[in-house]
Amino acid sequence: MNLSPILVSNPEHSKQEQDFMETVTNINEALEIAKTDKNVGIAIAPLSTGINFCLFSAEIKEGKKVGCHYHSHGEEVYSILSGSGIIYTALVDEEEQIGEIKSRQVYAGDNFTINAGTAHQLKAVSDLVLMFVCPPEHVSSDRTMLPCLTP
């Protein structure tokens, strides 16, 4: 299976315009070859990358969960494509102490935003597929792992 991006271009565009054209990635193909991120324990598939944000997809099997973590800067926007889960969140103070834990059931079609300084952990109630948008640093340098928020 070839996952090479397809350049969407028009021969009438200048080279500079073509360099800024988007690539097209199929989410289903990307999920099939997604690599496991050992820090959070799930496979993450990059769909589109940019300087200020990236779009990723992930599949979480029933009963599995993302490792609890937070980010110091920027937001993450989630969209649940299929399945259901429970999102656990808690504010984190300067000493990395976790505040009151809140939880909410999420279903296919639900969208939510996680703010900087918010511990978050998503547990799949059924097989779950999601997309999330975040700064590129969220999957590299701006991620602090915390103890589990789920029961």
* Model pLDDT for residues 62-99, shown as the tens digit of each residue: 999 999 999 999 999 999 999 999 999 999 999 999 99
Asked whether residue 3 is domain-assigned, the answer is: no
By residue range, what is the domain housing residue 46? 35-145
Q: Which residues contact 28 (CB under 8 A, 6 or more apart)?
A: none
Asked whether residue 81 is domain-assigned, the answer is: yes
CATH number at residue 53: 2.60.120.10
Q: Which residues contact 78 (CB under 8 A, 6 or more apart)?
A: 87, 111, 112, 113, 114, 122, 130, 131, 132
**For the chain, what is the domain count?**
1
Residues in the chain: 151
Asked whether residue 72 is domain-assigned, the answer is: yes
Q: Which of 33, 77, 23 is nearest to 59 (CA)?
A: 33
Asked whether residue 113 is domain-assigned, the answer is: yes
H-assigned helices in 22-139: 27-32
Asked whether residue 105 is domain-assigned, the answer is: yes
Asked whether residue 26 is domain-assigned, the answer is: no
Q: Are 71 and 119 in contact (CB under 8 A)?
A: no
pLDDT of residue 118: 98
pTM: 0.83
Mean pLDDT along residues 27-31:
94
Type of residue numbered 101: I
Distance CA 96, CA 93 (A): 5
Question: What percent of the chain has pLDDT above 70?
Answer: 85
